[in-house]
Structure 1
Amino acid sequence: MAFLSAQSPPGMIELQSWVLDTPAQLRVLRAGLHEAITGQPLPAGAQLDEIPEKMVLVATELATNALRHGLPPTIVRLGRTKSIFVLDVADHSPDVIPQYTDDRPPGAGGLGLQLAKKFALEIGWYIEDDTKHVWAEFPVAD
Structure 2
Amino acid sequence: MGLLHTSPPPSRATEVRRWALSTGAELRGLRASLHEAFTGHALVEKEELDGIPERVVLVATELATNALLHGLPPTTVRLLRDEDVFILDVTDHDLTTVPELADTCPLGAGGRGLQLARAFSLEVGWYATEDTKHIWASFPRGEAQDDGR
Go from structure 1 to structure 2 and tell me whether the alpha carbon gap of 1:129 and 1:105 turns closer, same or farther (over 3 Å shift): closer
More strand by share: 1
- C-alpha contact 2:102 2:112 (8 A) present in aligned 1: no
Q: Which is further off, 104-113 or 28-37?
A: 104-113
- C-alpha contact 2:4 2:125 (8 A) present in aligned 1: yes
- C-alpha contact 1:84 1:140 (8 A) present in aligned 2: yes
Query: What is the CA distance between 1:94 and its match in structure 2?
Result: 1.2
Corresponding residue of 1:9? 9
Q: Which is further off, 1-10 or 54-63?
A: 1-10
Query: What is the CA distance between 1:106 and its match in structure 2?
Result: 7.4
Matched, 1:109 2:72: no
Instruction: Please identify runs of 4+ aligned residues in structure 1 that moved more than 2 A.
Output: 40-43, 101-109
Q: Report the RMSD for the aligned CA atoms in angstroms.
A: 1.9
Q: How far apart in 1 are the matches of 2:3 and 2:89?
A: 18
SS, match of residue 141 in structure 1: coil
Amino acid at match of 2:81: R
SS, match of residue 2 in structure 1: coil
Go from structure 1 to structure 2 and tell me whether the alpha carbon gap of 1:104 and 1:98 turns closer, same or farther (over 3 Å shift): closer
SS, match of residue 6 in structure 2: coil
Gaps of 5+ in 2: 144-149
The percentage of counterpart residues that share the same residue type is: 56
Equivalenced residue count is 141
Query: What is the CA distance between 1:23 and its match in structure 2?
Result: 0.4
Amino acid at match of 1:7: S
Corresponding residue of 2:91? 90
- C-alpha contact 1:93 1:132 (8 A) present in aligned 2: yes
User: What is the TM-score of this pair, normalised by structure 2?
Assistant: 0.87
Query: What is the CA distance between 1:130 and its match in structure 2?
Result: 1.0
Corresponding residue of 2:40? 39
Matched, 1:81 2:87: no
User: What is the TM-score of this pair, normalised by structure 1?
Assistant: 0.91
